[in-house]
Structure 1
Amino acid sequence: MDLVDLFQRIGLAIAIGAAVGVERHWRDRAEPEGARTAGIRTFTLIGMTGGLAGLLETAIGGTPAPGLIVAAFLLSLTVVMLRFALIQARAEHSVSATTVIAAITTFALGALAVLGDTVIASAGGAAIVTVLASREFLHGAIRRLTWVELRSAVVLLAMSFVLLPLIPATPYGPFGGVSPRSLLILVILLASVSFIGYVAVRLLGSGQGYLVAGAVGGLVSSTATTVTFARQSVSGMPAQAAAGGAVAAGAVSLVRTGLLVAALAPSLVSALLPPLLVSGGVMMACAVLFIRRDVSHAGAEPPANPFELIQVVKMALLITVVAFVARASSQIFGDGGLYVVSALSALADVDAATVTVAGMAAQLTTAVAINAIGIAVAANLLAKVAYGAATGSRSFLLMLALATTLAIAAGLIAAFVAQLP
């Protein structure tokens, strides 16, 4: 490496140490001098030491053993930090290894900045500062999460890193078959979107109120959430609140559909994402308006955890059936068969149709894929109005129909504008 590159790498090592040191020093800023294990100066020097250790390793050329100098420096740092951390822990009657681990990581990133990829070292520095600065948030998150939510996260991780590698990728069956691994990937994607959204609402919001309950319900199933609120509108829940929750579920469902399209079929984003986001925004505005008309009823329990195993199995079966029927219909009856399947499957849930068509986007023309997803979204919106008419109160139906009409009209306008040159 030339002299300029060398100075840049050493500078990055120092900058990483300084960034971590600022966070550590700020957290213990009320402590008098000499009362903290390590602050901004110490961590800056730790980052610099890591860089210098990497520089020495480079200069010597791995003799007598590759990595020996860096390892020796790291071992010495660990011993020193443990000694001072132990003294501080005894003085404060506390137990925490965070500062020691942060020092070891800072040293390693400093060495990586000289010996390896500077981009990875920079990203690592940003990551460690973010984790350290998020202590209160993370601790609060752990206190607020329930065992059911943590168990669901473990199941999701097991599906992603234990089960997925064992599932065969070879398609089985006619009409292109069904790949078990691709199916599981789609299930994990849907479950991840629902679970992350659910946890985000639980952590960032109060978890109460019909608007929040409806939004979280939209992450699980906007159709089921709409039916639930419709039934409650005739059993004592104010119609404005019930309609607000149902419309919020529809808004979240539209945004989620846009995210699924962006993740699975990027070629359709320019045509589908704008109308979906506009329609979702209109529905959310209507939901807020309906809720504000019923400020006297603010409490509502959020829906159950969206990532129950039974729900994952049901979604897997639904996607499998819809995907097979859609491919068969498309090959036998042409594009018209795909449109019919999309509309019929969306009567229960729009995700299955969206995921299926997005997965087939490479074999379809862009226009056919866009039309199929658009038909599915419109059919799902209209189906929820029909369910509201069958199970909800008159006032609930009127507000749901109004919000749906405005959302469809806004989406059509946005789609027309998106197609303009």
Structure 2
Amino acid sequence: MVVDENALLSRLAVSLAIGLLIGLERGWRSRDEDDHLRTAGLRTFALSGLLGGVTGLIGQQQGTTLIGLVFLGYSAAFAAFHWLEARAERNFSVTSVVAGMSTFMLGVLAVVGDLSAAIAGAVAMAVLLAMREQLHRWVASLSWAEIRSGLTLLAMTFLLLPILPNRTIDPWDAINPYIIWLLTILIAAVSFSGYVAIRIFGDRLGVMMAAVCGGLASSTATTMTLAELVRQHPESRNLLAAGILTAGLVMVARVAIVASALNPMLLQSLLLPLLSGGFVLAVGAGLMLVFSRGTSQQPVLKIANPLEMASALKMAALLTSVMLAAHLLQRYFGDAGVLATAGLSGMADVDAIVISMARMAMGAVDPALAAQAILLATAVNTLVKSVLAAAAGDGKLGLLVALVSVVAVAAGAVTALG
């Protein structure tokens, strides 16, 4: 068997580097402890990674059983020494033991398996270990009801997806239950990231950060909340307008990401119009921010948990309705029916029409028409926010948002038509 010594040495070096990376984090965390009074630090984890790499190399020649035996012996020895340390310090954390076992196996993977996967796993593990305090705070900031709703929905998803029919079940060949539920969970996960950010930072969020996180979760709800503040803080109208425009900007970015992720063919048609419209929103928000006066009151965003069963079912129902309406209206009214569906859908939500058009552009409708429908829904939703700002806040706020929104829509339209 021909052995590439350079490749072999490179893989062993990666095994050692993986151990050094994990050892750096573990050693820094226990830096205040005296030498010889801690189970493992920088050197131990570095040697663990290298040991995994050497074991993997020998296992390739002598059989994979050797890797399992060495791993069991390593784990037993590491756990025994950690138990002695834990008994002396009354520290019952098992994180270092799991980290040591993982370092060993990643060292093995770096030699016998996918090198990129081993490196990515090591980086992910180092980040998780380094973010211990932040992760604990994040978990503590969520209520049990929120965690339970997410776990329930995830459990139902993994139980439902295997049994849902992955085919259309309606006479019009439009509704695929498997795809609808899968896309519902994906869009709920995107919204949940913004929701979690809001719950974690709470009243520490300023208006602009609340607009960013809120725009990721629900730009409509964020617009309503910020607009309501203008009644108590009319002097902060420009700042609140900047926040509303920022939430709209995040919505535009979200449309581009979701649409291109589901159907990369749409990116070419969507990129320039969304970029030009988003640029105008960003400039408008920046100008409003320059002329703004701060408010001492932080916005309390009232956004429902996207992973709650009721929220997920509503999204699934909306997605089903939009898909069915788009198919039927296209059948009877052609392209105009699709655009009408997009315009009506955009008055309430853009996610459903974006997902529907991205799916339909794979064969049911022309990709150019799908892109036009997405842009139309985004434009309508952007303009509707100025109406919401006027209704929930006051006419002056609505006018400020409307002026920038109209220019943004016009810029996107010119780019799309040109």
**Pick aligned residue for 1:12 from 11, 14, 17:** 14
- Is the 2:281–2:405 contact (alpha carbons within 8 Å) kept by the matching residues of 1? yes
**Which amino acid in 1 is paired with 2:277?**
S
**Which amino acid in 1 is paired with 2:23?**
G
Q: Which residue of 2 aligns with 1:355?
A: 355
Q: Which residue of 2 aligns with 1:222?
A: 219
Q: Which residue of 1 aligns with 2:179?
A: 182
Cα drift, residue 317 of structure 1: 1.2
**Which amino acid in 2 is paired with 1:272?**
L
Alignment of 1:106-117 (within 5 A): 106-117=103-114
**Which amino acid in 1 is paired with 2:267?**
V
Q: Which residue of 2 aligns with 1:157?
A: 154
Alignment of 1:241-390 (within 5 A): 242-287=240-285, 289-290=287-288, 293-307=292-306, 308-363=308-363, 364-390=365-391
Query: Where in structure 1 are there 5+ consecutive unaligned residues?
Result: none
In the TM superposition, what whole-angstrom CA distance separates every residue of 1:23-53 from its partner, at most 9, and x where no partner exists?
A: 2222222222212211222122212222222
**Which amino acid in 2 is paired with 1:366?**
P
Partner Cα separation in structure 1 for residue 21 and residue 210 of structure 2:
40
Partner Cα separation in structure 2 for residue 354 and residue 273 of structure 1:
14
In the TM superposition, what whole-angstrom CA distance separates every residue of 1:295-349 from its partner, at most 9, and x where no partner exists?
A: 1333221323431322222221111111111111112211111111111121222
Partner Cα separation in structure 1 for residue 213 and residue 309 of structure 2:
18
Cα drift, residue 231 of structure 1: 5.3
- Is the 1:216–1:302 contact (alpha carbons within 8 Å) kept by the matching residues of 2? no
Cα drift, residue 393 of structure 1: 1.5
Partner Cα separation in structure 2 for residue 252 and residue 155 of structure 1:
29
Partner Cα separation in structure 1 for residue 130 and residue 388 of structure 2:
47
Cα drift, residue 290 of structure 1: 4.0
Q: Which residue of 2 aligns with 1:55?
A: 57
Q: Which residue of 1 aligns with 2:46?
A: 44
**Which amino acid in 2 is paired with 1:9?**
R
Partner Cα separation in structure 2 for residue 211 and residue 184 of structure 1:
33
- Is the 2:277–2:412 contact (alpha carbons within 8 Å) kept by the matching residues of 1? yes
**Which amino acid in 2 is paired with 1:312?**
A
Question: Residues 382 and 93 from structure 1, CA distance in 2 versus in 1: closer, same or farther, beyond 3 angstroms?
Answer: same
Question: Residues 50 and 331 from structure 1, CA distance in 2 versus in 1: closer, same or farther, beyond 3 angstroms?
Answer: same
Q: Which residue of 2 aligns with 1:144?
A: 141
- Is the 2:226–2:243 contact (alpha carbons within 8 Å) kept by the matching residues of 1? yes
Q: Which residue of 1 aligns with 2:412?
A: 411
Partner Cα separation in structure 2 for residue 148 and residue 284 of structure 1:
36
- Is the 1:187–1:315 contact (alpha carbons within 8 Å) kept by the matching residues of 2? yes
Cα drift, residue 201 of structure 1: 4.5
Question: Residues 225 and 100 from structure 1, CA distance in 2 versus in 1: closer, same or farther, beyond 3 angstroms?
Answer: closer
- Is the 1:230–1:388 contact (alpha carbons within 8 Å) kept by the matching residues of 2? yes
Q: Secondary structure at the match of 2:92?
A: coil
Q: Secondary structure at the match of 2:33?
A: coil
Q: Secondary structure at the match of 1:124?
A: helix
Q: Secondary structure at the match of 2:362?
A: helix
**Pick aligned residue for 1:21 from 20, 23, 26:** 23
RMSD of aligned residue pairs (Cα, Å)? 2.6
Q: Secondary structure at the match of 1:31?
A: coil
Question: Residues 288 and 207 from structure 1, CA distance in 2 versus in 1: closer, same or farther, beyond 3 angstroms?
Answer: farther
Q: How many residues align?
A: 412
Deviates more, 1:273-282 or 1:120-129: 273-282
Partner Cα separation in structure 2 for residue 119 and residue 191 of structure 1:
30
Cα drift, residue 81 of structure 1: 1.2
Question: Residues 8 and 221 from structure 1, CA distance in 2 versus in 1: closer, same or farther, beyond 3 angstroms?
Answer: closer
Q: Secondary structure at the match of 1:178?
A: coil
Q: Secondary structure at the match of 1:362?
A: coil
**Which amino acid in 1 is paired with 2:262?**
L
**Which amino acid in 1 is paired with 2:195?**
Y
**Pick aligned residue for 2:91 from 91, 94, 106:** 94
Partner Cα separation in structure 2 for residue 110 and residue 388 of structure 1:
56
**Pick aligned residue for 2:116 from 105, 110, 119:** 119
Question: Residues 190 and 321 from structure 1, CA distance in 2 versus in 1: closer, same or farther, beyond 3 angstroms?
Answer: same
Q: TM-score if structure 2 supplies the norm length?
A: 0.88
- Is the 1:250–1:283 contact (alpha carbons within 8 Å) kept by the matching residues of 2? yes
Query: Where in structure 2 are there 5+ consecutive unaligned residues?
Result: none
Q: Which residue of 2 aligns with 1:85?
A: 82
1:396 to 2:394 alignment: no
Deviates more, 1:316-325 or 1:51-60: 51-60
**Pick aligned residue for 1:68 from 58, 65, 68:** 65
**Which amino acid in 1 is paired with 2:167?**
T
In the TM superposition, what whole-angstrom CA distance separates every residue of 1:69-116 from its partner, at most 9, and x where no partner exists?
A: 222212221222122212222333322111111111111122222333
Question: Residues 87 and 414 from structure 1, CA distance in 2 versus in 1: closer, same or farther, beyond 3 angstroms?
Answer: farther
Identity among equivalent pairs (%):
38
- Is the 1:9–1:118 contact (alpha carbons within 8 Å) kept by the matching residues of 2? yes
Cα drift, residue 202 of structure 1: 4.1
Cα drift, residue 241 of structure 1: 5.0
Partner Cα separation in structure 1 for residue 148 and residue 289 of structure 2:
33
